[in-house]
């Protein structure tokens, strides 16, 4: 019997170390920080937690190592209501991790070490056939090998389900993958790279980029930070959704929160405008919440 409809997240898991300081160091410079804290992340892990927080049943597919970071990442998913039974634990790999340095204004830079995320075996996706069914939405990102994303998208589309690709971080995406995607979601930087359009700084610019990207995909969401997001699809539908105005504590993870909430809303069969409103609201709540309280 097929399992109940769910958001399936195929993607990365990282153990993050968050460092706060007056600024990010220049080459050869040592900066005295003010605080540090661990955090479970990775775009896949963040989006899984976000979708679960929005009320969706969520299953995570990924990989960790047999180390303390991996145990912590699996425990965090379970504690946040995410089914992590399909996350592989690899004896010969270290878990993915990152170090993010925040400055006094809440901006950050990060270094990611992908580890086990790059060792996900496409054959792993066939381990549980009931993950692929027509009622499901599969969410992909670009922090794992594209060959894995291609196999996941192929399996989901063959079963009649839907696929969201969050093409982040910014890197080339094959047309073969985009042909299997129902909704492409990109931020300003990713939209500029994939579409070759001018800088995306306004909702009008986001809409222009979304329309250009329709040459490669059937439906596109372009986010423009606090300005909001724009949606366009091949049927002619167009939607601009202004961002919610909040006092920003930190933008870290805002895009992942948007994606998870969007997937949960689409799983619940909300119309696209309502789904984007829900995603905007979730992202606004996150960025207005201090890191320590998330």
What residues are annotated to the active site? 256
Domain total of the chain: 1
Query: Is 1 domain-assigned?
Result: no
Question: Residue 229: inside a domain, yes or no?
Answer: no
| Beta bridge partner(s), residue 39 | 16
- Contact in structure between 221 and 254 (CB atoms under 8 Å): no
Q: How many CA atoms lie within 13 A of 22 on its CB side?
A: 5
Domain annotation covers residue 5: no
Domain around 280 = 12-23+32-181+244-293
Question: 206 lies in a domain?
Answer: no
Q: For residue 193, give Cα distances in angstroms to 32, 169, 188.
A: 35, 11, 9
CA distance 54 to 172: 30
Q: pLDDT tens per residue, the chain (294 residues)? A: 457 899 999 999 999 999 999 988 889 999 999 999 999 999 999 999 999 999 999 999 999 999 999 999 999 999 999 999 999 999 999 999 999 898 887 777 889 999 999 999 998 898 665 578 898 999 999 999 999 999 999 999 999 999 999 999 999 999 999 999 999 999 999 999 998 876 788 999 999 999 999 999 999 999 998 899 999 999 999 999 998 888 888 777 899 999 999 999 999 999 999 999 999 999 999 988 887 777
pTM of the model: 0.92
Asked if 13 contacts 42 with a C-beta cutoff of 8 angstroms, the reply is yes
Task: Report yes or no on 207 lying in a domain.
Answer: no
Determine the angle formed by the axes of helices 43-53 and 254-267, rounding to 10 degrees: 50
Q: Is residue 212 in a domain? A: no
The domain that holds 173 is classified in CATH as 3.40.1190.20
């Amino acid at each position: 019997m097929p399992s109940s409809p769910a958001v399936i997240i195929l993607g990365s898991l990282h153990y993050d170390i968050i460092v706060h300081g007056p600024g990010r160091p220049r080459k050869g410079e040592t900066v005295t920080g003010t605080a540090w804290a661990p955090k479970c992340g990775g775009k896949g892990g963040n989006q899984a937690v976000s979708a679960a927080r929005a009320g969706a049943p969520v299953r995570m597919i990924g990989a960790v190592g047999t180390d303390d970071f991996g145990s912590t990442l699996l425990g965090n998913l379970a504690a946040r209501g995410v089914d992590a039974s399909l996350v592989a634990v690899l004896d010969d790999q270290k878990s993915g991790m990152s170090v993010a340095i925040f400055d006094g204004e809440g901006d950050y830079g990060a270094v990611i070490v992908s580890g086990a995320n790059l060792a996900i075996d496409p054959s792993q996706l066939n381990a549980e056939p009931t993950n692929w069914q027509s009622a499901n939405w599969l969410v992909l990102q670009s922090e794992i090998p594209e060959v894995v994303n291609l196999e996941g998208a192929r399996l989901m589309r063959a079963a009649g389900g839907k696929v969201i690709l969050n093409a982040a971080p910014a890197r080339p995406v094959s047309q073969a993958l985009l042909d299997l995607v129902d909704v492409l979601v990109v931020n300003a930087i990713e939209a500029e790279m994939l579409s070759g359009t001018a800088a995306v700084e306004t909702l009008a610019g986001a809409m222009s980029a979304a329309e250009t990207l329709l040459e490669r995909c059937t439906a596109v969401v372009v986010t423009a930070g606090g300005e909001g997001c724009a949606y366009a699809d091949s049927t002619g539908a167009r939607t601009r959704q202004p961002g919610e105005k909040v006092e920003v504590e930190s933008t870290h993870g805002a895009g992942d929160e948007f994606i998870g909430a969007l997937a949960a809303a689409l799983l619940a069969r909300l119309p696209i405008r309502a789904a984007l409103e829900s995603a905007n609201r979730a992202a606004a709540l996150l960025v207005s919440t201090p890191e320590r309280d998330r």
